[in-house]
Structure 1
């Protein structure tokens, strides 16, 4: 949202020490890298990535934006972040330098923008609290052949990758299509999420068309803007929870999968890789993948666990999620950040 750009004003006018809890940096080093390499992404459209002039213009804009964003963040006396991914990027931003722009700010027209920073160079991880009380009550046994996705229908969530991975699963392992003429014994992909506007609605329509084009529409179900009790009902039945977003900064839906006893199959990046779907007591709590093919194989691996292995993984995942991402852990991390020592300083 760019709130960091208010830090200088608050600090100067109120002489108030600044602290922040960052969920997602407004700009990150990988955003610059994608523009520089002209890679198409949801933050770098085809119109820009295919144009040399537009790419150079956007890179210049990002360079200036990054410079001021870094200076703004360094105004803070303490920073907390919600995951390893966010910490890595925020730390890189805090340590970012641009000698040319530094020299430019020594000139009279820009001299007034030159500020003295507190010199902060790193942030502290404090995982957000996840209310898993209702999900933790769900049974771990007798799950249906349902692959679940819980996420808003936003472009970065990459639901298309889930449909493609599901098609790969059915192609590589036809047994999941079911044996009966009525489709009995077949697997389902259930995409449950919020649609905020016409763009999201069009995205859902596009996903329906994709499922039809891939020949899996009979196995894919869309549930849009469902109330919370309906989501709990589906999570109580699902066997697997899928998340295909690249560089998910945290992944609260993955925590919810695990607390609900749903085995997570997630993209091998961001918070799901580094912080959430990690070994617990030396044993796995889920699966990671990157491509439709590797997602399909991870889904197959989860679906073919022995009953004992299946139940053990669900228990581990639930125990880890409830233990690590509780409100108590959040409060402990928050107080450990040392924010209290700044309450009466610089005033």
Structure 2
């Protein structure tokens, strides 16, 4: 009851605030620095006054913005160590002298602050790969662009984050034009913070986090590459700037609503339906504030275009660095030979459906009438004790419960990326069993490595990746929409797919492998992402 009252009160506050903002021209207030700010800064720099608490907390962002527009190295104006605007500048004599001169002038360099809102920018996953490739492309597009990274990774420094990006993704930047704005309220968008009413709790949390970002430094362009849309109205009302969104998956979708409607009728389910439908209504309303909407796949784009009908949506496939994978064989010092093995490249999480793969593989083993059976290998990272226990459960299920011989099944955890690339180029098949995988970067890695994909017939793998008859699809009776999709698509089970690929000869495999590599290069390369990001986003918002 307390949670309901809290949420209702928060909603009332948000609604009243938005009405107030419609009546006030606050965007000029947040962008405009206080009167005589240059005199105050000069006096503090030259030691005429104490440089602590020169400005009100809600004006610090506008002053930081002015300093960034003038800066030689924008890293000097991050709030990494302190929120004080003078401390970091005093450590860089070159920046200090430059600021003394430029603050005496009335002219401000024509630069653009491009703000990327990505609270988990140091996570190292596919979403972060999109972020940092977009940053690299944006900085290369125009030397007058400064990139702001709004992040909650307060346990790392900006230089540490950029070093991780270099090691993980091999992207290179002009780091003097990247300024990190660290946010302290990131925990408010963590699902663990909201054990009940998670959707609306995270939505309210993202609003607070968005406002914190704006107050710490208002940008000229707001780009959300992680998926926190409920802050967009606040960005619009407070700043009146273009809003760009890259959506990996919808916060709530028609699939979720349909799935709930098929559950047994009860008071709890009826209440949940009302809650979700009201939430969807407001989610649809947010489309009014978006300038450019981009998505990661056809499946996501189909859902988002039906939700945000007010704006045109564009598909920009994630950058998958397929150029590097395709060239791995040429750059390898040894000759790579493909073995009769099928790999599953996925994080060890239940939604990746490892148990289903093991079960279907066991059925296939029992029905096989020949000796040349592909070995099944799971490859993935373990992030926690929970993941490691999940791996042990899979081993017990395979070896003890289903009696799969150890020579036919293996699990490899936490392999270095070079070893993963070698496994891609020395295997024959790649399996993905996730239902409604929004995109499927692992499947792209399969085809870039010349593997024959065996994938679930849904979402990204079905509509975007495994095309031109380059692979094999399957469905499973445990799929939430199995009855509808099976009647339309007619795909068999994973066991059936195993049997089907067993009849491929070497010529067939080579032909499919060559087609797969061509698709990987033409659709999912980093260069392809560059071109689309420039055409769809940068050329339109940077005038």
Q: TM-score range by the shorter chain?
A: 0.7 to 0.9
Decide which moves more: 289-298 or 29-38.
289-298
Task: Say if 1:263 and 1:286, in contact at 8 Å, map to a contact too.
Answer: yes
Q: CA RMSD in A?
A: 2.2
The structure that has the greater radius of gyration is: 2
The CA distance in 2 between the partners of 1:54 and 1:197, in whole Å, is 34
Look up the match of 1:226.
415
* 1:9-33 Cα shifts (integer Å, max 9, x gaps): 1111111111111111121111111
Q: 1:339, CA displacement in angstroms?
A: 4.7
TM-score by length of 2: 0.52
* 1:273-304 Cα shifts (integer Å, max 9, x gaps): 0000000xxxx211111138622222232232
The CA distance in 2 between the partners of 1:324 and 1:265, in whole Å, is 19
* 1:158-209 Cα shifts (integer Å, max 9, x gaps): 111211221122122142xx4xxxxxx5532111112222332232222222
Corresponding residue SS for 2:470: coil
User: For structure 2, which runs of at least 5 residues remain unmatched after alignment?
Assistant: 1-225, 478-491
The CA distance in 1 between the partners of 2:229 and 2:343, in whole Å, is 36
Relative distance call for 1:203 and 1:54 in structure 2 (3 A) is: farther
Q: 1:217, CA displacement in angstroms?
A: 4.9
Relative distance call for 1:12 and 1:343 in structure 2 (3 A) is: farther
Residue from 238, 243, 256 that aligns with 1:13: 238
Relative contact order higher in (CA < 8 Å, ≥ 6 apart): 1
Residue from 248, 254, 258 that aligns with 2:447: 258
TM-score by length of 1: 0.79
The CA distance in 2 between the partners of 1:289 and 1:246, in whole Å, is 10
Look up the match of 2:339.
144
Matches within 5 A, 1:65-104: 65-95=279-309
1:23 and 2:248 are equivalent in the alignment: yes
Q: 1:316, CA displacement in angstroms?
A: 0.6
Look up the match of 2:507.
308
The CA distance in 2 between the partners of 1:2 and 1:141, in whole Å, is 40
Relative distance call for 1:233 and 1:142 in structure 2 (3 A) is: closer
Corresponding residue SS for 2:246: strand
1:52 and 2:266 are equivalent in the alignment: yes
Look up the match of 1:43.
none
Residue from 351, 371, 388 that aligns with 1:201: 388
1:189 and 2:364 are equivalent in the alignment: no
Corresponding residue SS for 2:252: coil
Task: Say if 1:80 and 1:123, in contact at 8 Å, map to a contact too.
Answer: yes
The CA distance in 2 between the partners of 1:326 and 1:128, in whole Å, is 8
Relative distance call for 1:227 and 1:125 in structure 2 (3 A) is: same
Task: Say if 2:436 and 2:459, in contact at 8 Å, map to a contact too.
Answer: yes
Residue from 318, 321, 330 that aligns with 2:529: 330
Q: 1:232, CA displacement in angstroms?
A: 1.7
* 1:254-281 Cα shifts (integer Å, max 9, x gaps): 01001111110000000100000000xx
Q: 1:141, CA displacement in angstroms?
A: 7.4
Residue from 304, 312, 316 that aligns with 1:126: 316
The CA distance in 1 between the partners of 2:536 and 2:325, in whole Å, is 29
* 1:96-151 Cα shifts (integer Å, max 9, x gaps): xxxxxxxxxxxxxxxxxxxxxxx32x411111111123421338974212110000
Q: 1:78, CA displacement in angstroms?
A: 1.2
The total of aligned residue pairs comes to: 297
The CA distance in 2 between the partners of 1:251 and 1:3, in whole Å, is 21
The CA distance in 2 between the partners of 1:63 and 1:303, in whole Å, is 47
* 1:296-331 Cα shifts (integer Å, max 9, x gaps): 222232232121111011011011111211122212
The CA distance in 1 between the partners of 2:236 and 2:295, in whole Å, is 21
The CA distance in 2 between the partners of 1:325 and 1:256, in whole Å, is 10
Task: Say if 1:263 and 1:302, in contact at 8 Å, map to a contact too.
Answer: no
Decide which moves more: 314-323 or 333-342.
333-342
Task: Say if 1:141 and 1:311, in contact at 8 Å, map to a contact too.
Answer: no
User: For structure 1, which runs of at least 5 residues remain unmatched after alignment?
Assistant: 39-49, 96-118, 179-184
